[in-house]
Each structure stands twice: as C-alpha cells, then as structure tokens.
Amino acid sequence: MSTTVFSDIDWDQDGKQVGTLHLPHSPDDDAWGVIPFPAASIKNGKGPVVVVSGAVHGDEYEGPVVIAELMRQIQASDVAGQLILLPSFNAPALKVGRRTSPIDHLNLNRVFPGDDHGLPTQQIARYVTDHILSRADVYLDLHAGGRTLFIQPSAHVVMADGMPPELIKANARLAEVFGVGITVQTSNMGDYRTSAGYATLKGIPTLAAEMGMGGWVTGDSVRATREATHRVLKHTGVLPHIATVPGEKTRWTRINGGKAYVFAPMDGYFERRFALGEHIEAGQLAGLMHALNRPNLEPEPVYFQSGGTLYAHGLIGHVRAGQNLAVLVEDVAAPL
C-alpha cells in the first residue's frame, strides 16, 4: 500500500471523526495542492463495519444529501461497530455536477480496484479499496439516474455465476430490507470495475441503489433514500436504535443481456414512444430517429429487441450513435 493519499481520520480510533481524504494534485495553477474528499468514521466498540458512499457519479445527489445528514446527526453512542461515510466519493465530479471527473475524465465506477500511481480517479479508488473497503463487513453505494437518465427507484445486487451461496443470500437480504419497488439482479456483465462489483468480488455483502433521476433532487427522492438507508443500517446492526419505517415488498428483476438495451443507430434526434414502467413487447416501436439536418429524409424507426418492463431511459432527445435510449427488465424469482 504505497498511496500518496493522506487523511486526518484514524480509521482504528473510537469516537466520531469528521475529516478529509487529501489526494495530492499538482495542476498548472497549484504546485503543491490537494483534492479534498469529505469523509467520516463513527466508531464505538465491537460490531460490524459498514461503509456508505455517495456521488460515485457527480450528478447524483440523493446519496450525498442523506450521507451528509448522517455525518451531522449520528454520534458515537448511536453506533455499535463502525460506520464509515463517504458523501462525495467523486468530489471533483460532484463539484461540477458531472458524471465523470473534470480532472481526468474517468468514470470512478469503471476503475476499481484503482491504481496508487495512476490518474486522480484511479488513486482515490485505490485508497478506498485498500484502506476502507478492506475493513468492510457491508457496503452500501447510493446512486441516482443523474442528469441523462430517467430510472425507476431500485436496488441493484450483483449475483454472478460462481458466487458463494451465502453471499448471494446476504445481498438478497439487503435488497429486501432496503425495501423499494424493484430490485435488479445483475451479473455485472463480468465487469468488476464498479465499486459494488469489486466489493462483491471480495466477498463483501453489497447493495447499490438508484434513487433519483434527471439530475434532480426532490423531497420525495431524498425521503425515500433516507428511509431505505436507515432500514439497511438498522438491519446490519451498526445503528441498532435508528428509527425506521417499513419498506415495500420488492419485485425481483434482471436486465437480460444485450437485447434488453436500445441504442441509437445513428446521430440524430430521438422521438420517444414509451413511458417509464410501461410493459413492452418484443418488436414494439421504441421511437423514431430524426435527421433534422436532412429534413427531406423520413425518420428511421427504432424497435425493441425483447420484451419486459421499461426500467430506464435517456433524458435528452439529441443523441449520438450508440447512446442508450432505453433499458428493459424482466421478472425473475426471488433468490431467498
């Protein structure tokens, strides 16, 4: 572990510590500067170590809002074990409200386990991998649709071939406790470079969640995220006395391979012909691609390749070839 990242938080110390991870950075306008990442450790005796992160993508706001509340409100006496809070995991991206870092243009959720001597996004991923996730008994990663995606509030759990049955059961139980309308069971497409995928690969019970959309943040989306997060924290035992309200019975689904996605066949302007939550049949019209720079051309129809429920779709009409237009899920049996 040869990281250059340093912190004023002692991860082994009891008590409440609110501090910063400092990533040395020497851009053109600052020879000896750092990139600051807010963090907290709230530790009290024996018990589980639970890590909660937000803003892995910088245009997803419900997680950071709820984690910041926890940083302000939770005291060491409330905790049994250790609660580690990372409200701004991708702080440079959060600062500008973008999915990826404006410094190196990397997607934090595609670089795990990171690199101590790589680009800044790779460095912070590696520090968290080695110094924080290595301690975790449970990991909760709070996402939202961001400014380019409408998505149904949902939990995501990795359940890949070859995973230990006890880990599958633990992940499934987290989703049931999280208690939102849909849980998406994913194989991660064999890609473990996401924070949740990497944690699962290391045997840590893990839940990711999509709790907002459109780059908005509303009272309803924050409340839903808060309530679901509190349920998980109580379930793990790290906050045994936190007040909770009952969740919903979740509907288990999966994204069934490449045919569940609709991508733009060309640059142009997409006229959507579906709605979030709609039941879709294979072969159904998804929409029309308009070439507005060539108005003499008829629009090109785009079709769904499979059936299911419309789980998520793009927000903007002006799209490029290969841009995601829609994602379907199909129902599966609950793994519990």
pTM of the entire predicted model: 0.96
How does strand 308-314 pair with strand 324-331?
Answer: antiparallel
* pLDDT tens track for 53-63: 999 999 999 99
Same domain, 235 and 307: no
Q: What are phi and psi of 51, to 5 degrees?
A: -110, 130
Q: Establish if 336 belongs to a structural domain.
A: no
Q: Cβ distance 99 to 121 under 8 Å?
A: no
The CA distances from residue 277 to 5, 63, 145, 153, 311, in Å, are 43, 23, 15, 11, 6
pLDDT at 189 over 70: no
* pLDDT tens track for 12-36: 999 999 999 999 999 999 999 999 9
In this prediction, residue 159 carries a pLDDT of 86
Same domain, 45 and 68: yes
* Eight-state DSSP code of residue 50: E
**Residue 10 structural domain:** 6-253
Q: Establish if 53 belongs to a structural domain.
A: yes
Q: Which of 225, 253, 281 is the last residue of a domain?
A: 253
pLDDT at 253 over 60: yes
pLDDT at 148 over 60: yes
* pLDDT tens track for 67-110: 999 999 999 999 999 999 999 999 999 999 999 999 999 999 99
The CA distances from residue 11 to 14, 113, 302, in Å, are 8, 20, 52
Helix (H) or strand (E) holding 79: none
* pLDDT tens track for 126-144: 999 999 999 999 999 999 9
* Domain CATH number, residue 49: 3.40.630.10
Cβ within 8 Å of residue 261, ≥6 positions away: 255, 324, 326, 327, 328
* Domain CATH number, residue 305: 2.40.50.100
How many structural domains is the chain composed of? Answer: 2
Q: Over the Cα atoms of the chain, what is R_g? A: 21
Q: Is 243 exposed, middle or buried (0-12, 13-18, 19+ CB in 10 A)?
A: exposed
Q: Taken in order 185, 221, 246, 249, is the CA torsion positive or negative?
A: negative
Average pLDDT for residues 203-217, to the nearest whole number?
95
Q: Which of 234, 253, 272 is the last residue of a domain?
A: 253
Q: Establish if 1 belongs to a structural domain.
A: no
Same domain, 127 and 275: no
In this prediction, residue 270 carries a pLDDT of 98
DSSP letter string, 123-168: HHHHHHHHHTGGG-SEEEEEE--GGGEEE--EEEEE--TT--HHHH
In this prediction, residue 160 carries a pLDDT of 80
* pLDDT tens track for 219-252: 999 999 999 999 999 999 999 999 999 999 999 9
Q: Sorting pLDDT into bands at 50, 70 and 90, what band is 162?
A: confident
pLDDT at 307 over 70: yes
3-state secondary structure of 38: strand
Same domain, 78 and 200: yes
Q: What are phi and psi of 42, to 5 degrees?
A: -120, 110
Average pLDDT for residues 199-211, to the nearest whole number?
96
pLDDT at 188 over 90: no
Average pLDDT score over the chain: 96
